[in-house]
Amino acid sequence: MAASCMHIGRYIRRNERFLRLQFEQFLSIRSFALTPAVHQAAQVHQEAAESVVIPMKKTWSKEAVLQALASTVSRDPTVCAYRFQDDSFLSPRNFSEAKTYSYSLESGRAAAKYIINNNPNLFTKDFAEPHIPCLMPEKVSPLLEEVSEAALKERINLRKVTAAVDMYDQLLQAGSVVSMDTTHDLLDLLCLYGDSDPVQESGPQQEDTEESEQELWSETGFKKPSWRKTNNAERIFNLLPDRDTRCYSALIRGMVKHGASKKAFDMYSELLNNRLTGDVHMFNALISAVPDVRENPDEKWELVSELLKQMNQMSIRPNLLTFNSLFKTLKRCGKLSTIYAPLALNEMKALGIAPSLATYNHLLHMNVHGFLKIQVLRNLLLELEGCSFTCRDPGDNLFFGTAMKACLINNDLELGYKVHSLLEVGENWRLLGAANKQAYYYNCFLRLLCQMENIDVVLKWYKKLVPSMFYPHPENMMGMLQTLDTENRLDLLPMIWKDMKTFGHIYPDLVEELLSLMARDKHNPKVQESFAACALDVKQTFSEKGIEWKSSYLSHVSTVLLRANQCEEAWEMLLIFKEKNLVPSEAVLNSFLSECQSSIGPDRAVELVQLSAAFCLPATSELASRVLVDFNLTESQRTILSQLQTAEKMSD
């Protein structure tokens, strides 16, 4: 009895809350025995008990903390990109140096990866938390040496094309039967890499044989894809007793990828003769290869229509890449593209397939006329406003560059701002592509701003984009100079020269434009002093880099120095004329006398006239007359000037 009571007490203590709630519910039902206040309190307690919802466990990704920290840091527009900040001395100054820096960085990473992968026993400790697989040694050499299907699968996974083919041949010679799945994987590997070992990211590159070089190099000197005549993929395909759809699909896609489009269509005809059905990947490759086997636009569209009908007969549902291949082919069909592209878009909508940025890029290329292209782009941006994209097609990284180029050609600033606003949504900036495509986009955007915006807005964007986003091209610097001229803000020319010098854009046309703008008009003393400092910096840069002087350069620099009352420096420029056997203009000599009359002595004035006579300038007589009148000369100096005047008149 005591034990039973003890168990009852323990049960009551364990389930006290549950029993209390049940008892209160029972009392609330027997409301006649309770007061209204107690009944109301019981109802409130019951509602509170029922409203408690235990939240689900939140699962955070391993990079969540890093992402949170990264969101607190904004981009610094005054410095170059983060990947170039390892060594300030090696920081690139222009796009060419940035590309060289990036290649060097990747080369160093590849060398480190090669050492790690070939010496995995030296890198066994993993200090990273969370684990970073790319920092650990990879399995790069096969471990299974016996002749077996498992060894073949291992070589296929390691992308050892030659070793996989050798293992496959050894299995056949031994009388072993290779499963169809393994054969499919082998054909996929052969067709992907064109029956040759891929270039390893961390390994030395192998040279092509003499026979393959003649086959792989085009007349223009660029390496082209080639489907070799003695191809292991075709040999293995012909050895198969039973060939299914995937075998044909792998071979057809490999032929299209490596430039054998005609053979791909022959293989497709063989598939139809064998009463087999294709797959969507095979049809995508065939549709993209139509321009290589047909020249006439009508014939191209006829073949595309036939392929689409056969897809329908085989009950193969098209995907996004199918329509993008179709649009890519339509771009090369002339005027037919504007007829059939809307029909294809309607078909995409009916199938519930959302277009990607590559689809829109193809649509822009179809409309060759500027007005039509800008109308299509305007409609697209209205539909895409505020949308965030992910990469769904390899051609998605071409859209923003094409769109901004269309805005630049048509001088549509408003549309250019809309394109850039779409780029800044979410992580759309990742779809700009590689560094050269990113530089192309920002180059077009800055040129558009220079043509259409006022100088204050242009400078705001210039400081925001350069050098953190891209390095300006010479044409961008020329656009900035022309914009300053148009907006009458020539006082900012020294700032542009500083950037020209920093980015290495010391080209003849840019220097000529800069110096001519500084020497064209006379400004207030403060601006003239800044121009003089800039002109002297140009002179020093020319001396350091060994740049050849031109007569126009010397004339402009001399004019700028004279207007800043720096007569000694201007006289040095005149001596460079004589040293380089260049002829100064009459305007420069007259300006020298006018600006420096109070600061130079009669000896320097006589030397100026002699310099003019040495170049046989027609203004020598006039200069001599001015010196005789304006300066206190000795008899010998007057005699020299009189002789120069007489010689000038006799030559006339």
Task: Note the pLDDT of residue 33.
Answer: 41
Amino acid (one-letter) located at 524: N
Share of the chain above pLDDT 90, in %: 45
Residue 24 pLDDT > 60, yes or no? no
Task: Note the pLDDT of residue 207.
Answer: 42
Q: What is the DSSP letter of 461?
A: H
pLDDT band at 532 (very low <50, low <70, confident <90, very high): very high
- The winner for highest mean pLDDT among 8-22, 126-140, 306-320, 463-477 is 306-320
Q: How far is CA 25 from the centre of its chain?
A: 69
CA distance 648 to 640: 12
Query: Which tops the pLDDT comparison, 342 or 590?
Result: 342
Residue 651 pLDDT > 80, yes or no? no
Q: Report the pLDDT averaged over residues 309-315.
A: 94
Q: What is the DSSP letter of 53?
A: -
pLDDT band at 602 (very low <50, low <70, confident <90, very high): confident
Residue 11 pLDDT > 60, yes or no? no
3-state secondary structure of 217: strand
Residue 604 pLDDT > 80, yes or no? no
Cβ contacts of residue 161 below 8 Å, gap of 6+? 189, 190, 193, 195, 196, 197, 198
Kindly tell me the burial class for residue 566, based on how many C-beta atoms sit within 10 Å of its own C-beta (0-12, 13-18, 19 or more). buried
CA distance 152 to 158: 10
Name the nearest CA neighbour of 188 among 132, 100, 125, 254.
Answer: 254
Q: Report the pLDDT averaged over residues 426-446.
A: 91
Task: Note the pLDDT of residue 536.
Answer: 93
Q: What residues does each domain of the chain span?
A: 92-137, 141-199, 601-651
Determine the straight-line distance between the first and last CA of the chain, rounded to whole angstroms.
147
Task: Note the pLDDT of residue 424.
Answer: 93
Residue 37 pLDDT > 50, yes or no? no
CA distance 238 to 172: 14
CA distance 528 to 535: 10
Q: How far is CA 411 from the centre of its chain?
A: 22
Please tell me the number of Cα atoms within 13 Å of 135 on its side-chain side.
Answer: 8
Q: In which residue are the tokens 């059939």 written?
A: 340
Chain segment 447-459, per-residue pLDDT in tens:
999 999 999 999 9
Task: Note the pLDDT of residue 423.
Answer: 95
pLDDT band at 122 (very low <50, low <70, confident <90, very high): confident
Residue 365 pLDDT > 50, yes or no? yes
Chain segment 368-415, per-residue pLDDT in tens:
666 678 888 999 999 999 999 999 999 999 999 999 999 999 999 999
**Average pLDDT, whole number, for the chain?**
83
Residue 19 pLDDT > 90, yes or no? no
CA distance 445 to 435: 15
Chain segment 605-641, per-residue pLDDT in tens:
777 777 777 777 777 777 777 777 777 777 777 777 7
pTM of the full structure: 0.79
Chain segment 225-255, per-residue pLDDT in tens:
578 877 899 999 999 988 999 999 999 999 9
Residue 212 pLDDT > 50, yes or no? no
Residue 223 pLDDT > 50, yes or no? no
CA distance 7 to 4: 5
Chain segment 194-210, per-residue pLDDT in tens:
878 886 654 444 444 43
- What kind and span of H or E run contains 111? helix 95-118
Name the nearest CA neighbour of 322 among 312, 335, 332.
Answer: 312
Among 20-24, 313-317, 467-471, 474-478, where is mean pLDDT lowest? 20-24
pLDDT band at 579 (very low <50, low <70, confident <90, very high): confident
Q: Report the pLDDT averaged over residues 487-514.
A: 92
Chain segment 321-358, per-residue pLDDT in tens:
999 999 999 998 888 888 899 999 999 999 999 999 99
pLDDT band at 20 (very low <50, low <70, confident <90, very high): low
Cβ contacts of residue 145 below 8 Å, gap of 6+? 151
Q: What are the b/e assignments for 378-402, b being 16+ CB within 10 Å?
A: eebbeebeeeebeebbebbbbbbbb
Task: Note the pLDDT of residue 252.
Answer: 95
Share of the chain above pLDDT 70, in %: 85
